């Protein structure tokens, strides 16, 4: 191992000793960075991603909200009053600009332990972090927020404001999930792609409530890490679902394909160098927006214990 790499490890020795019970790392173990786990996007992997060619674009939506079949008679057309009419509508995607900037000194680049594969590692970790933060904004965005990042757009929790269930401070349990399903309008309730989405602690509470049952299912919940469901509908844990100062969170019931993530072109990564200060600059630029195509097809539970 090059001597400068050993120097780098010695600089980090205090931190390493705080976590590594086996003492300092051996030389043959120190050729790659330790990649600490970060929150991975859950919801954004399931939503409808739609490319945008301009900053603001409209998307058409259509559904037949009422019955289309009428009683018919042979060789007789239906009267105009019986004609079926689709409900047509539009929603607008307005891509907002977000940036990330990373600066690395020449000394860091010279001393880093991965040498030839460092660029690949950096870009992979940076892209994962960007995906995590995009989900953070897509879920929690609120144009009234004091956080300038969240204030760029309204996220899905802000937009889900039609079908509401007050959990009254309870933990996530089958009663709350049942009430959410009952609140879903009939025309959307049988959608095979419905899912419940909430934060990790709330999902643990629901899974725990199943484990408390003195049945085979209760034993299974304790022993396995399989899918958690209610009425055949999966319950997902989304890391970016927030908890407020009262330890309350929220949950939504929706088909994730009803959530549209509009991304303007592709995520751009530019690299430049400040020669005088000896710094490499990496700038990531992304423009995106998130919209519920049909707000009536989403149910939100609030005042749900989430911590």
The predicted pLDDT at position 111 comes to 64
Residue 187: pLDDT over 80: yes
| Exposure class string for 73-94: b at 16+ Cβ within 10 A, else e | eeeeeeeeeeeeeeeeeebebe
The confidence score (pLDDT) of residue 72 equals 84
What is the residue extent of each domain of the chain?
A: 94-305
Report DSSP state, residue 26: P
Does 18 score more than 60 pLDDT?
no
Q: 3-class DSSP state for residue 156?
A: helix
Q: How confident is the model at residue 200 (pLDDT cuts 50, 70, 90)?
A: very high
pTM assigned to the model: 0.78
CA distance 105 to 62: 53
Across 45-57, average pLDDT: 91
Residue with tokens 């050993």: 6
Rounded average pLDDT over 91-97: 93
With 0-12 / 13-18 / 19 or more C-beta atoms within 10 angstroms meaning exposed / middle / buried, residue 303 is middle
Average per-residue pLDDT for the chain: 81
DSSP 73: B
Give the pLDDT confidence of 82-92 residue by residue, as tens digits.
Answer: 887 777 778 89
For residues 251 and 239, the answer to whether their CB atoms sit within 8 Å is no
**Does the pLDDT value for residue 155 go beyond 90?**
yes
DSSP symbols for 186-227:
HHHHT-TT-EEEE-HHHHHHHHHHHHTSSSHHHHHHHH----
Distance (Å, rounded) from C-alpha 290 to C-alpha 307? 27
- In angstroms, the CA 16 to CA 9 distance is 9
Bridge-partner residues for 55, per DSSP?
none
Q: State the pairing for strand pair 233-237/195-198.
A: parallel
């Amino acid at each position: 191992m090059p001597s400068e790499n050993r120097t780098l490890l010695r600089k980090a020795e205090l931190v390493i000793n705080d976590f590594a019970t086996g003492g300092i790392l051996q030389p043959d173990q120190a050729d790659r960075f330790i990649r600490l786990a970060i929150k991975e996007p859950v919801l954004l992997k399931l939503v409808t991603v739609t490319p945008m060619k301009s900053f603001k674009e409209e998307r058409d939506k259509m559904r037949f909200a009422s019955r289309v079949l009428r009683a018919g008679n042979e060789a007789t057309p239906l009267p105009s009053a019986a004609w079926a009419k689709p409900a047509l509508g539009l929603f607008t995607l307005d891509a907002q600009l977000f940036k990330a900037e990373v600066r690395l000194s020449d000394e860091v680049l010279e001393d880093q332990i991965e040498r030839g594969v460092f660029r690949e590692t950096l870009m992979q970790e940076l892209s994962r972090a960007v995906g995590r933060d995009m989900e953070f904004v897509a879920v929690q965005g609120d144009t009234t927020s004091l956080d300038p990042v969240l204030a760029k757009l309204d996220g899905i929790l802000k937009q889900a404001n039609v079908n509401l269930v007050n959990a009254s401070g309870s933990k996530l349990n089958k009663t709350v999930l049942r009430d959410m399903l009952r609140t879903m309008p009939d025309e959307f309730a049988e959608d095979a792609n419905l899912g419940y989405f909430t934060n990790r602690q709330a999902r643990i509470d629901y899974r725990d409530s199943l484990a408390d049952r003195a049945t085979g299912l209760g034993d299974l919940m304790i022993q396995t890490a399989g899918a958690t469901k209610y009425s055949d509908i999966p319950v997902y844990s989304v890391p970016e679902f927030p908890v407020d100062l009262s330890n309350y969170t929220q949950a939504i019931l929706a088909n994730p394909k009803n959530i549209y993530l509009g991304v303007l072109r592709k995520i751009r990564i530019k690299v430049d160098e400040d020669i005088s200060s000896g710094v490499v600059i990496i700038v990531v630029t992304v423009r995106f927006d998130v919209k519920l195509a049909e707000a009536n097809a989403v149910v939100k539970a609030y005042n749900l214990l989430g911590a």
